[in-house]
Structure 1
Amino acid sequence: MYEQTTAAGEATSQERRDGTQNDVRLLGHVIRCDGARATLAAEVSPDDGNATTDQWVVGRMISINLGSTRTVGLVYEIAKTTPEWHEEANNPIEISIELVGEVRDVTPGAPPIFDRGITRYPHIGAIAHRIRARDLKAIYDLAGRQSVNVGTLSQDETIDANIAIQDTLTRHFAVVGTTGVGKSTAVTILLRRAIEARPELRVLVFDPHNEFGPSLGDVAFRIDAETLDLPFWMFRLEEFAEVLFRGREIDMDEVEILRDIIPMAKQHYRTPGAGLMRRGGGSGDALTADTPVPYRMVDLLKLLDERMGALDAKSDRPVFRALKARIESAIVDPRYKFMFGSRMIEDTIHETIGKIFRLPHNGKQITCFEMAGMPSEIVNAVCSVLARLAFDLTLWSEGKMELLVLCEEAHRYMPADAKLGFAPTRHALSRIAKEGRKYGCYLGVVTQRPGELDSTILSQCSTVFAMRLANEKDQAIIRSAIADSSASTLAFLSSMGQREAIAFGEGVSTTMRLKFVKLRRDELPGHQDTGGEKTKREVDLVAVVNRLRNVPDPKSFAAAQGSFLETPVPPVTPGAPYAPRPAAPAAKEPEAQATAPTPRAFGFGSR
């Protein structure tokens, strides 16, 4: 057994091998070192079976004995020194390693300490061998930071893989990987561990495939196109225009008309005694097209009619007619009932915010916003509203609330090409990435194409979980984000197994290759407990065709929608008072009432 002597003269054993193993067969020696990497020489014996070859495996950590310290290296390449292989004789091999750091024993009997960087470089002939388990634990020790377990080390599945959950959340994180590698499973694990460690954390998940709700059912509140209530008056002008134009090129003349008349409709809702044509007047001066104050679409349409009637040139009227047609089309479209339902003219901002952002959460801290059933042309606008509200909510709560916004398929909202995507959504999420951590609003990014994601957003993610990536461009993006001293780790990105990931950044002590825990079938994202009924289901062709033709279900739509145009619009005399139509009583969700915040508390009245 090898022993080294410390400077104080105390013998310190650095041997990690089983006493029954042959000294020669499991040892290598340093034959080259350039400061960042080293090369080892070893032999593989035919009598050894797999004992030696199992130790020299790409991706494993090894230890180099330097007396009072052990230099830790990562194996990234193995080669035989000659091109032939001998079945009956020893085969010399070379192992290329990347130097990671040093492990040293500070106090006898106490756990060893790991430090990044190298203070003593391996000398020629230094002994290298398999790293012992206690040194491996020291490498990934989080030094007292709040940690959660997400799996095991790929090198040694008896050792837990822990991450610093506070640093992972507060400094943003990203999960990247190609389709089918377990990316959504990893996200599910991270979310569960996060809310277990931080019970007051709220999470808003942008779920384009409706896959997280089933796996997080006991802790998640699910909102979809049928259950979402997001009043049209909470949309800013550019978001509202995106809804009206449905992804087509926006006519700026029509937008300017809206910019002028929406504040007038809002003021009339606030002061019904004033005529529709009047502007200004006390508190109404602060109203803009972006102020989240209720108004009625019937008032907006009357203003359009009046403006058209006051035009001298008939050539200007087509712009007003086109805008009016867009508004009327959106109002009667059953897919937009979450915006234009009969209750959407009421001041329900407290209920809306409480429901979406779980105030109070009542045991369900996660909101899964399921977008699969929502018209694709308005998904961007809705995500923009929710991301903007998330930032404002944490900003004006003055540190009393922590909120994580998780974006699945983030490259859809924040593409690398600034000409693609929806600018307000990109701006809202970029604001969270750049400023959110100061106020308690955090960002989680999930994507299978990091090369198509805005590099500014990815650079703000201080912890990255990189799963298998086959695309060279995507691999290059991740390589540019990782520390140079761990660059060789990413050589495995294209060949990692299911549930495997390389974690690096603030959430781990050093770059770590891990395997996420295996979930039960009912906990997997996208799992639907259909039992044996799936094969017995029949396709309702009539319902499918009705949806293709945009025909609403007569029962559910009539109950939820109501019509903004069902009451005849009386002529309006300038300066005459106008009595508003009484609002329908609101059916409030009980759990969202208890601690409903006031609008002034979040600064909505002045922003």
Structure 2
Amino acid sequence: MVNNELQADGRTAEADRRDTVARGNRFLGRVIACNGSRATIAALAENGETSLTELWSVGRLVSITVGVNRVVALVSSMRTSDDNWAEQQDNIFRIDVELVGEVRVDSDGHEAFSAGISQYPYLGAIAHRIRTADLARIYDTGRGGCFTIGKLTQDESLDAAIHIPSMLSKHFAVVGTTGVGKSTAVTLLLRKAIEADPKLRILILDPHNEFAAAFPDHAVVIDTDTLDLPFWLMRLEEFAEVVFRGRPAVAEELDILRDLIPEAKKGFKGDGGLMRRQTEKSSLTADTPVPYRIADLMALIDERIGRLEGRTEKPSLRSLKVRIMAAVNDPRYTFMFSSNTINDTILETIAKIFRIPGDGRPITTFQLAGIPSEVVNSVASVLCRMAFEIGLWSNGGVHMLVVCEEAHRYVPSDQSLGFLPTRQAIARIAKEGRKYGVSLGMITQRPGELDPTILSQCSTVFAMRLSNDRDQDIIRSAIPDSSVSTMSFLSSIGNGEAIAFGEAVSVPMRMRFERIPESRLPKAAGGLMKADDDTPANVDLRTIVARMRASSGGDATPFSPATIGAGGLAFGESLEPPPFSPRVPERPESPNRTEIPAGSSRLESYRPDMLPRVEPQHPDPVSNPQADRFNAYRRQILGGETDRRPPEAPAPQAPDDPSASPRTPSLRESLLRKPLGSMIRK
């Protein structure tokens, strides 16, 4: 079997040889200039023919014969010698190429590609159309663990393969503008990664809730309805981000939390002995992931408020107490302060989020769309930090991959933006994660807004179409100098196409990702509904409005200790209610109003008497044009009805009525009544 393959390869190589002098076969031109990284080739199109000039497309690879070796070059630009194209005549043109490497032929006849060049092209060296076998040698990594992810753009008969272990061990990035297929490419890469390493555990920070549809058989979905992320898992800065709603923390209140949280942790009596054994060996801090109750924390704050020596800090204590009560009572933070978060559930939380052992579903899609925007950074910080610590304390026993969609939100290039703990957690994975089996996948449409330190740690990059000049410059600075011209195609490559470079490939490779079945494409919930479709009959507008108000922080339930009990105040402590907020009085009942039974989905129909009234802003007899126009419009709608005032508003009296009560004349009346001569200064 092996001998037959070798004979077949020999016949293919023999058929692939060409006459280095005769034109019309693989002969393209001759080298007329060369330096350390570039060369210029002169070519001829006889009688205006374009059959051979098609082979000079920008971005294609050609070979230059130098002795027994073949130098591989990338076409970067081309032009005619006289800036004109003559029909039925010979046309001479120039082709600028970048030297990529060479195919070396050993003494035993073995051929292999090398990125270095041992012999540079000489003047007059013949340039040829590259062989298919040479293309296969160029993009062959020569390592095990390679997986096909698509086809080469230059020759779609050849597979585009990458080395998955190198991609995961040193991090990777997928960049590209909106709509070019980043999410589809990430889906394909993650499927190949699971195939290459079945023990891999993947955590996707999904801000658009779209990856759940891509992995129906391999992923579990965690959202605000199924999430229990205890507040006590957060470090002090992360907890402060929740309490202060994303605003800078007050230094005095932060110091109070730093002092009181360890006391609340010491006072907690856990059900299991694991926590007690651990706390006996080490002192507790505000960052120790040990359970505690909000009730204990509030009791400690009340105790400080009651002390005589604490007068100076009472305003800070009361303000901090109100902030904590507001956060616990916020329905959007139920996943942090629910009754399930008061027990020591750290083992269950880690097992659920990070899929240990996994039960055949190694991927977790953590949907961030329903989490309040002011605490998204805090949640991302907790997840990334825990992923690194799992790899650290397991001595690399758990291979973890954290995928950050829209990564520029978490680690922006501007150091003053973003959340510092999140930046630190992701940076720690980028710099030290490979030593403990924790990998990072950064997905962004704006690499120019991503922290360059984080991007530089991604040794494999899949660059899809980028239209922004700054983004192109960032990617161009990360590619080797010998293939800079490859980046000139970033603004024009098609959807689903990318330029891959870095550790996972031998040389920069322009390729097209293979297609994924329609049922496995990432898509947000409801994303397939067309804009011109009729509204489904089963859509309940009241439910939509209720969920909208809940996600915006509105809570229709009154504040009570029972409500707080779900967040950890389970022992009936008396807490002060939040500051009073005035309620808007209901509109008086109209005699024509039709009552809507409770639970009905029918909305009240529009009536003309719902129009607001515009009353004059002053009691002067001078007419108010705005009120006159609006009341005239209202009378027209009501069918000629006269302008009536509400019964409770007394009708204004005429100014000449002797029974009218005296009033102070307005400034306008005073000026009109005053003689003009008296206002002129003598």
TM-score (norm 2): 0.76
Tell me the amino acid that sits aligned with residue 423 of structure 1.
Answer: L
Tell me the amino acid that sits aligned with residue 155 of structure 1.
Answer: Q
Tell me what 2:354 maps to: 357
> Given the alignment, which residue of 407, 412, 417 partners 1:420?
417
Q: CA deviation at 1:520?
A: 2.0
**Residue 116 in 1 paired to residue 115 in 2?**
yes
Q: CA deviation at 1:471?
A: 1.0
Per-residue deviation, residues 159-206 of structure 1 (Å, max 9, x unmatched): 011111101100111111111111111111110000001000001111
Tell me what 1:586 maps to: none
Q: CA deviation at 1:130?
A: 1.1
Equivalent-residue separation in structure 2 for 1:361 and 1:525 (angstroms):
22
Tell me what 1:545 maps to: 545
Do the aligned residues in 2 keep the contact of 1:188 with 1:215 (CA within 8 Å)?
yes
Tell me what 2:129 maps to: 130
> Given the alignment, which residue of 371, 376, 379 partners 1:379?
376
Tell me the amino acid that sits aligned with residue 180 of structure 1.
Answer: G
> Given the alignment, which residue of 563, 566, 579 partners 1:562?
566
3-state secondary structure, aligned to 2:412: coil
Do the aligned residues in 2 keep the contact of 1:62 with 1:130 (CA within 8 Å)?
yes
Do the aligned residues in 1 keep the contact of 2:431 with 2:457 (CA within 8 Å)?
yes
3-state secondary structure, aligned to 2:268: helix
Do the aligned residues in 2 keep the contact of 1:267 with 1:284 (CA within 8 Å)?
no
Equivalent-residue separation in structure 2 for 1:18 and 1:469 (angstroms):
42
Per-residue deviation, residues 406-441 of structure 1 (Å, max 9, x unmatched): 111111111111110000000000000111100101
Change (3 A) 1:560 1:542: farther
3-state secondary structure, aligned to 1:221: strand
Tell me what 2:99 maps to: 99
Structure 2 spans left out of the alignment, 5+ residues: 1-12, 272-278, 576-682
Tell me the amino acid that sits aligned with residue 267 of structure 2.
Answer: H
Change (3 A) 1:528 1:315: closer
Tell me what 1:35 maps to: 36
Change (3 A) 1:64 1:122: same
Tell me what 1:190 maps to: 189
Tell me what 1:51 maps to: 51
Tell me the amino acid that sits aligned with residue 62 of structure 2.
Answer: I
Change (3 A) 1:215 1:552: farther
Do the aligned residues in 2 keep the contact of 1:215 with 1:527 (CA within 8 Å)?
no
Count of matched residue positions in the alignment of Structure 1 and Structure 2: 546
Change (3 A) 1:195 1:561: farther
Q: CA deviation at 1:568?
A: 2.5
Per-residue deviation, residues 542-580 of structure 1 (Å, max 9, x unmatched): 2333334335699xxx99983545642279xxxxxxxxx
Do the aligned residues in 2 keep the contact of 1:14 with 1:67 (CA within 8 Å)?
no
**Residue 366 in 1 paired to residue 378 in 2?**
no
Tell me the amino acid that sits aligned with residue 37 of structure 2.
Answer: A
Q: CA deviation at 1:385?
A: 0.4
3-state secondary structure, aligned to 2:97: strand
Tell me what 1:207 maps to: 206
Q: CA deviation at 1:513?
A: 0.8
Tell me what 2:620 maps to: none
Tell me what 2:66 maps to: 66
> Given the alignment, which residue of 450, 455, 463 partners 1:453?
450
Of structures 1 and 2, the one with the larger relative CO (CA 8 A, separation 6+) is: 1
Tell me what 2:388 maps to: 391
Do the aligned residues in 2 keep the contact of 1:242 with 1:250 (CA within 8 Å)?
yes
Change (3 A) 1:451 1:262: same
Equivalent-residue separation in structure 2 for 1:252 and 1:292 (angstroms):
23
3-state secondary structure, aligned to 1:149: strand
3-state secondary structure, aligned to 1:242: helix
**Residue 479 in 1 paired to residue 505 in 2?**
no
3-state secondary structure, aligned to 1:434: helix
**Residue 222 in 1 paired to residue 221 in 2?**
yes
Do the aligned residues in 2 keep the contact of 1:62 with 1:74 (CA within 8 Å)?
yes
Q: CA deviation at 1:38?
A: 0.6
Tell me what 2:653 maps to: none
Equivalent-residue separation in structure 2 for 1:82 and 1:114 (angstroms):
37
Tell me what 2:516 maps to: 519
3-state secondary structure, aligned to 1:27: strand
Tell me what 1:291 maps to: 288
Tell me what 2:147 maps to: 148
Change (3 A) 1:289 1:519: same
Do the aligned residues in 2 keep the contact of 1:342 with 1:560 (CA within 8 Å)?
no
Q: CA deviation at 1:226?
A: 1.4
Tell me what 2:497 maps to: 500
Tell me what 1:595 maps to: none
Q: CA deviation at 1:334?
A: 1.3
Q: Show the 5 A alignment for 1:245-284.
A: 245-270=244-269, 283=280
Do the aligned residues in 1 keep the contact of 2:329 with 2:564 (CA within 8 Å)?
no
Tell me the amino acid that sits aligned with residue 519 of structure 1.
Answer: I
Do the aligned residues in 1 keep the contact of 2:62 with 2:128 (CA within 8 Å)?
yes
Do the aligned residues in 2 keep the contact of 1:44 with 1:92 (CA within 8 Å)?
yes
Equivalent-residue separation in structure 1 for 2:516 and 2:98 (angstroms):
33
Tell me what 1:338 maps to: 335
Do the aligned residues in 2 keep the contact of 1:337 with 1:561 (CA within 8 Å)?
no
3-state secondary structure, aligned to 2:213: helix
Change (3 A) 1:511 1:393: same
Tell me the amino acid that sits aligned with residue 61 of structure 2.
Answer: M
Stretch moving more, 338-347 or 477-486 = 477-486
Equivalent-residue separation in structure 2 for 1:477 and 1:14 (angstroms):
44
Do the aligned residues in 2 keep the contact of 1:151 with 1:517 (CA within 8 Å)?
yes
Tell me what 2:599 maps to: none
> Given the alignment, which residue of 301, 307, 326 partners 1:304?
301
Structure 1 spans left out of the alignment, 5+ residues: 1-11, 273-281, 572-607
Equivalent-residue separation in structure 2 for 1:57 and 1:559 (angstroms):
69
Tell me what 1:319 maps to: 316
Equivalent-residue separation in structure 1 for 2:31 and 2:15 (angstroms):
16
Tell me the amino acid that sits aligned with residue 71 of structure 1.
Answer: V
Do the aligned residues in 2 keep the contact of 1:337 with 1:560 (CA within 8 Å)?
no
Do the aligned residues in 2 keep the contact of 1:167 with 1:506 (CA within 8 Å)?
yes
Equivalent-residue separation in structure 1 for 2:299 and 2:564 (angstroms):
24
Equivalent-residue separation in structure 2 for 1:285 and 1:404 (angstroms):
31
Stretch moving more, 82-91 or 361-370 = 82-91
Equivalent-residue separation in structure 2 for 1:381 and 1:464 (angstroms):
27
Do the aligned residues in 2 keep the contact of 1:243 with 1:377 (CA within 8 Å)?
yes
Tell me what 2:75 maps to: 75
Equivalent-residue separation in structure 2 for 1:459 and 1:485 (angstroms):
18
3-state secondary structure, aligned to 1:205: strand
Do the aligned residues in 1 keep the contact of 2:476 with 2:484 (CA within 8 Å)?
yes
Equivalent-residue separation in structure 2 for 1:16 and 1:553 (angstroms):
81
Tell me the amino acid that sits aligned with residue 302 of structure 1.
Answer: A
Equivalent-residue separation in structure 2 for 1:52 and 1:285 (angstroms):
76
Tell me the amino acid that sits aligned with residue 562 of structure 1.
Answer: A
Q: CA deviation at 1:17?
A: 5.8
Tell me the amino acid that sits aligned with residue 60 of structure 1.
Answer: R
